[in-house]
């Protein structure tokens, strides 16, 4: 599953009501506009009933995806999937917006990084669909913007952007064990009992681009991943930096461990932020790409995290064969800069 991002977007009343008789509860033009601005150019995923409630069918300038368990269901202008994971697998490197309804929101909630919530300042007497509860220990309010009622808007509302807190999994203070380990800001938690504060910053990692001149031109050294995540897919050598080593030392060590090659020169290229799911926790990384020269490229052999080493010509490389998001994006960038060089 590898969309670039998964966001939930919803307009909910104070009691979490979102619909009645397969229609929306409110007509709020400025909220509609914000919905259009946030989602245009991206992918929207919705349940079959929400799809059928759209007044003009597919939302324009967006990839529309409809979920239904009915085999053979046809939705003009949309793609149909039988489950959320299947739909998300088809959304590589896309920004995905989950647009309802209730069960789709509930299923997507543990996967989403953002919730764009429009909280309508009203408690309707009648509603038949509700947004699931938002856990305050997991979600951080990144911004709030109030919109008063006016001639075009019968109710006041507040745009509330929530981000999944990177430390949501850490529910107790690691120093004193208190459950009052609360969100401090977007990347910190603080203990209300002992005062311990923990800031979570991205972990440094390195990626090596190693080139050689083969019989048919330039080749890049790729490895096949021996371990999860993305086991069996292509990768570039590299890995997490250790404490007390420089990034350059880290990339040399990783290349040696995975391929047996001795790096003699490193040149920093660029970096890519990444999210690496490991052991049920999302590790945020900053992946630093280096062009590495090696002493003797003839001795490459796979070891450690690598199951196989392959020398591939850039023209034969397909970014989609690379299972890790930042590596795939880095490969695209490297291929793009090559074609810019030759253009
Ligand atoms: N306020 C808001 O922001 C907002 C946003 C969206 C919707 N709404 C409102 O919510 C209501 C519609 O929502 P709803 O909750 O009733 O229905 P819904 O979630 O839009 O659609 C439910 C249907 O989607 C399919 N589905 C759901 N989860 C699936 C899954 N995991 N795999 C495969 N298919 C799946 C099933 O279709 P089949 O039965 O065909 O198998 C299911 O019956 C309307 O009133 C709408 O106006 C409000
Ligand atoms: Zn404490």
Range 272-293 average pLDDT: 91
46 C-beta closer than 6 A to ligand 1: yes
Separation of CA 337 from chain center: 24
Give residue 183 CA to ligand 2 midpoint distance, Å.
Answer: 13
Separation of CA 288 from chain center: 18
Residue 108: what pLDDT? 97
**Confidence band, pLDDT 50/70/90 cuts, at residue 237:** very high
| Rounded distance between C-alpha atoms, residue 100 and residue 115, angstroms | 12
Range 150-168 average pLDDT: 96
**Confidence band, pLDDT 50/70/90 cuts, at residue 276:** confident
The pLDDT tens digits for 174-221 are 999 999 999 999 899 999 999 999 999 999 999 999 999 988 899 999
Domain borders along the chain are 5-164, 167-201, 203-342
Q: 103: which residues sit within 8 A by CB, 6+ positions away? A: 47
Q: 327: which residues sit within 8 A by CB, 6+ positions away? A: 207, 235, 236, 287
Per-residue pLDDT at 46 exceeds 90:
yes
83 C-beta closer than 6 A to ligand 1: yes
Residue 325: what pLDDT? 86
67 C-beta closer than 6 A to ligand 1: yes
Q: How far is CA 184 from CA 137, 191, 196, 246, in A?
A: 11, 9, 11, 30
Taken in order 144, 116, 124, 53, the sign of the CA dihedral is positive
Give residue 150 CA to ligand 1 midpoint distance, Å.
Answer: 30
Give residue 5 CA to ligand 1 midpoint distance, Å.
Answer: 21
Q: 250: which residues sit within 8 A by CB, 6+ positions away? A: 204, 205, 206, 239, 240, 241, 242
Q: How far is CA 157 from CA 11, 119, 153, 221, 246, in A?
A: 9, 5, 9, 54, 50
Identify the residue whose C-alpha is closest to ligand 1 atom 36: 68
The pLDDT tens digits for 5-29 are 999 999 999 999 999 999 999 999 9
The tokens for 93 are 């490197």
106 C-beta closer than 6 A to ligand 1: no
The pLDDT tens digits for 50-78 are 999 999 999 999 999 999 999 999 999 99
Give residue 180 CA to ligand 2 midpoint distance, Å.
Answer: 8
CATH of range 203-342; options 3.90.79.10, 3.40.630.30, 3.10.20.30, 3.30.390.10: 3.90.79.10
**Confidence band, pLDDT 50/70/90 cuts, at residue 81:** very high
Give residue 39 CA to ligand 1 midpoint distance, Å.
Answer: 18
Ligand number nearest CA of 182 is 2
**Confidence band, pLDDT 50/70/90 cuts, at residue 342:** low
Residue 57: what pLDDT? 96
Question: What ranges in the chain are assigned the alpha helix state H?
Answer: 29-39, 48-53, 84-89, 102-108, 247-259, 325-342
Q: Does residue 91 contact residue 43 with C-beta atoms inside 8 Å?
A: yes
Residue 160: what pLDDT? 98
Distance from the first to the final alpha carbon of the chain: 34
Ligand number nearest CA of 192 is 2
Q: Is 52 helix (H, G, I), strand (E, B) or coil?
A: helix
More confident residue, 342 or 292: 292
Range 220-228 average pLDDT: 92
Least confident of 120-124, 148-152, 247-251, 324-328: 324-328
Range 290-302 average pLDDT: 92
84 C-beta closer than 6 A to ligand 1: yes
For 171-203, the DSSP string reads: -S-TTT--S-EEEEETTEEEETTT--EEE--PE
Portion of the chain with pLDDT greater than 90, in percent: 85
50, 15, 9, 48: which is closest to 31 by C-alpha?
Answer: 9
Ligand number nearest CA of 129 is 1
Identify the residue whose C-alpha is closest to ligand 1 atom 22: 47
Give residue 50 CA to ligand 1 midpoint distance, Å.
Answer: 5
- Closest atom of ligand 1 to CA, residue 9: 3
Strand partners, 129: 19
Least confident of 34-38, 103-107, 248-252, 335-339: 335-339
- Closest atom of ligand 1 to CA, residue 19: 45
Ligand number nearest CA of 177 is 2
Q: Is 93 helix (H, G, I), strand (E, B) or coil?
A: coil
107 C-beta closer than 6 A to ligand 1: yes
CATH superfamily ID and name for 5-164: Dihydrofolate Reductase, subunit A (3.40.430.10)
The pLDDT tens digits for 88-138 are 999 988 999 999 999 999 999 999 999 999 999 999 999 999 999 999 889
Burial string for 136-159 (b: 16+ CB within 10 Å, else e) reads ebbbbeeeeeebeeeeebebebeb
Per-residue pLDDT at 256 exceeds 60:
yes
């Amino acid at each position: 599953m590898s969309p670039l991002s998964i966001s939930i977007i919803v307009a909910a009343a104070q009691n979490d009501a979102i619909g009645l008789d397969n229609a929306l509860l409110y007509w709020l033009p400025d909220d509609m506009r914000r919905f259009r601005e946030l989602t245009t150019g991206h992918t929207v995923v919705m349940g079959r009933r929400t799809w059928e409630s759209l007044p003009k069918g597919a939302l324009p300038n967006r990839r529309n995806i409809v979920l239904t368990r009915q085999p053979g269901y046809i939705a003009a202008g949309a793609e149909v999937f039988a489950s959320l994971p299947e739909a998300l697998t088809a959304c590589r490197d896309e920004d995905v917006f989950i647009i309802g309804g209730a069960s789709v929101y509930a299923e997507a909630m543990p996967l989403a990084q953002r919730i764009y919530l429009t909280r309508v300042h009203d408690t309707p007497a009648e509603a038949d669909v509700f947004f699931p509860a938002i856990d305050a220990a997991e979600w951080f309010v990144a911004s709030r913007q109030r919109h008063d009622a006016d001639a075009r808007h019968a109710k006041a509302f507040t745009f509330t952007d929530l981000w999944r807190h990177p430390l949501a999994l850490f529910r107790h203070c690691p120093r004193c064990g208190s459950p009052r380990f609360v969100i401090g800001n977007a990347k910190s938690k603080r203990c209300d009992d002992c005062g311990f504060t923990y800031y979570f910053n991205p972990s440094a990692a390195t990626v090596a681009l190693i080139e050689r001149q083969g019989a048919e031109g330039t080749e890049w050294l790729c490895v096949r991943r021996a371990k999860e995540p993305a086991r069996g897919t292509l990768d570039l050598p590299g890995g997490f930096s250790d404490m007390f080593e420089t990034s350059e030392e880290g990339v040399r060590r990783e290349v040696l461990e995975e391929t047996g090659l001795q790096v003699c020169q490193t040149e920093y290229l660029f970096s890519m932020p990444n999210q690496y799911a490991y052991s049920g926790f999302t590790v945020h990384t900053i992946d630093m790409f280096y062009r590495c020269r090696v002493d003797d490229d003839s001795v490459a052999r796979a070891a450690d995290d690598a199951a196989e080493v392959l020398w591939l010509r850039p023209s034969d490389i397909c970014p989609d064969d690379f299972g890790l998001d930042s590596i795939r994006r880095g490969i695209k960038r490297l291929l793009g800069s090559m074609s810019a060089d030759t253009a």
